[in-house]
Amino acid sequence: MKNTPFTQKHIDLGAKMAEFAGYNMPISYSGINEEHNTVRNNAGVFDVSHMGEFMLKGEGALDLIQRVTSNDAGKLTAGKAQYSCLPNEQGGIVDDLLVYCIEENKTYMLVVNASNIEKDWNWISKFNTGNVEMHNISDKTGLLAVQGPKAVEYMQQLTDMDIANLKYYTFTKGTFAGIENVVVSATGYTGAGGVEIYFEDKDGAGEKIWNEIFRVGTPGGLKPIGLAARDTLRLEMGFALYGNDIDDTTSPLEAGLGWITKFTKDFTARNILEAQKAAGITRKLVGLEMIDKGIPRHGYKIQNAAGEEIGYITSGTQAPSLGKAIGMAYLRKDAATEGTEVFIMIRDKGVKAQVIKMPFA
């Protein structure tokens, strides 16, 4: 397993560790519910250094990004970012990602999922016919996500950059905790506010940033948070997780990602997705709330009242902020209307749930 710059920190703090995307990662420290509520009400620090980062440079960089992603990166100016996806040639999703515009038309950073780093690199490289300069900087880039309503208040103490006024999906670059050339962004995955801190992992930068973050935040209640709470936080917001809710077999339109699928430009599988939009999707990613007692889990099948199989669960949990069990599922279009009652098959028994609007929280 690979380590992040903070693996030993997690072990020393007593975190429950496990393999995730090839990395030795902290799953929880004090418990999912406590960590979840810390982020919702105060602030927490996630080590997400396992994520992948690619730098694309040169005159053809924007053209390459436009051809491989579904969103319109041409609208980005320096300091702005966007959520997007890489469609495959069948209209499925190679990965979802963030596109950061460092220098308009010339320099971009792509942030991809840890489990897809090699897959995404090979996919984008296949379309790089214009000699765009590509650098995989994943192994030398550290990334901490400081999330929660008090996160920015704590982090502003460590920089002269105006991060207190960072708008959603923007970023800035400067000195943070005494380390130069740090990117601080507001593209969080928890719905609780906060920032993400990207830095080059050299000369003890990670150690210094970690120590400084906890120096200013610990007196106010800032805590380290594991990946388990990250999952419950994102699920309450209805954010898709690659490998669970979206994958190579799901289209962005089925996943409710039509808003990042722009037919004003040419991109991989545009014709397929345009045809799908015109014909209408046959299934849809929806939110479910349990009516009967039970927790929906990934892969559970779903039936209607007549006993027909109409879909399956992609993600599910007991939501700490809500005190109820929730899930996301692909349902046949005719069953995907808000308020529709369905039956989740848990140990061969139909457990009642209903379709509700996302986000849950």
- pLDDT tens column, 33-68: 999 999 999 999 999 999 999 999 999 999 999 999
**CATH number of the domain that 308 lies in?**
2.40.30.110
Domain residues for the domain of 347 are 282-356
For residues 290 and 183, state if they share a domain. Answer: no
Q: Rounded to 5, what percent of the chain is helix, strand, coil?
A: 25, 35, 40
Taking only the tens place, the pLDDT of each residue in 98-140 is 999 999 999 999 999 999 999 999 999 999 998 899 999 999 9
> CA-to-CA distance for 201 and 114, rounded, in angstroms?
17
In a domain? residue 293: yes
pLDDT at residue 203, as a whole number = 96
Peptide bond into 359 cis (omega under 30): yes
Please, which residues have CB within 8 angstroms of residue 22's CB and are 6 or more apart in sequence? Answer: 1, 2, 50, 114, 115
pLDDT at residue 323, as a whole number = 95
Cβ proximity of 198 and 177 under 8 Å: no
**CATH number of the domain that 219 lies in?**
3.30.1360.120
Helices and strands of the chain, counted as H and E runs: 8, 19
Residues of the chain with pLDDT under 70: none
pLDDT at residue 130, as a whole number = 87
For residues 305 and 190, state if they share a domain. Answer: no
- What's the total number of domains in the chain? 2
